[in-house]
Amino acid sequence: MIRNRAAPAASALGRGGLLVASLFVVWHAFALVVAPFPPSYLSGSVHAAIFPYLSVLYLDTDWNFFAPTPAPGRFVRYVIQARDGSSHAFRLTEDRRPGPSAMRLRKVYDGIHQDRPEHYASVGRFLCRRHAGLEPVTVTFSVHRQIPITPEAYVAGRRPLDADLVEMETLPPVSCPEPPPSRSG
């Protein structure tokens, strides 16, 4: 096939246009490459310079999908302590059917962590409102982490969510807001 090479773009963009366009291309390409660079003194200095640009456009991503090691499974449950003394256990992540929001909700629940008290308090207060009918006093989260299962164990009949293959951590309870006076009266 005879190829008809495109004419030099300078003819269309003009020298000034080509210069400006080239500067943007170089800048953006540089930002794309530097953004996911591993931390170092050099990359830290450069990253600081381009951070506002990356940050405002949500380009500050490290692109490390399932790397360097896929994280083990993690799921969250919670217990509502009701005003009458009863407690009610719920699953937060496991019972969710796959859907377009499932991944986003999973990320929110994955954020429930001992080091993120403001986040799990926010989720806790949401659950207080959701279960208002139970007159909740506290919400207590428990985070369950899977221990990797070997293929030999799987063939032998063990399964990833067997009790001895999951370790649990309980977070401090989140207090629910007092119900409005009109309801308590």
Partner 1 sequence: MTLIARGWRSLACWWQDAFFQEAPTTPLEVVRIGIGIALLLGYGLASTNLFELHGMEGLVTQESARIWSNGRWSWSLLFLFTADWQVAVFQVVFLLACAAFTLGWQTRWAKWIVLVGHLSFVYRNPVAQYGVDSIFASTLFLLCLAPVGDSLSLDARRRPVGDADTLGTRERRRRAWGFACLRLIQLQVAVMFFFSGVEKVRGDAWWHGYAVWMALTNQEFSNVPIGWLASHFWIVNLLTQGTMFFEVAYPFLIWGRATRPFFLVGAILLHLGMAVMMGLYLFSFVMIVVHLSFLRPEWLTAWAWRRAVVPPQQEPEPLRPPAAAPPRPRSEIPSTSSRTRS
Interactions with partner 1, residue window 22-61 (CB under 8 A):
22, 25, 28-29, 32-33, 36, 52, 55-61
Of 84 and 118, the one with the shorter C-beta distance to partner 1 is: 118
Interactions with partner 1, residue window 104-163 (CB under 8 A):
104-108, 111, 116, 118-119, 121-123, 125-126, 129, 146, 148-149, 151-152, 154-155, 160-161
Buried b (16+ CB within 10 A) or exposed e, 22-31: eeeeeeeeeb
How many alpha carbons lie under 13 Å from residue 33 in its C-beta half-sphere? Answer: 6
- Residue of 39, 71, 84, 85 interacting with partner 1 (CB under 8 A): 71
Minimal distance, residue 132 CB to partner 1, in Å: 11
In angstroms, what CA-CA distances link 49 with 44, 55, 69, 121? 9, 11, 30, 35
In 3-state terms, what secondary structure has residue 159? Answer: coil
Distance CA 63, CA 57 (A): 16
- Residue of 39, 41, 63, 183 interacting with partner 1 (CB under 8 A): 63
Minimal distance, residue 131 CB to partner 1, in Å: 14
Distance CA 82, CA 168 (A): 23
Site string for partner 1, 153-172 (x = CB under 8 A): -xx----xx-----------
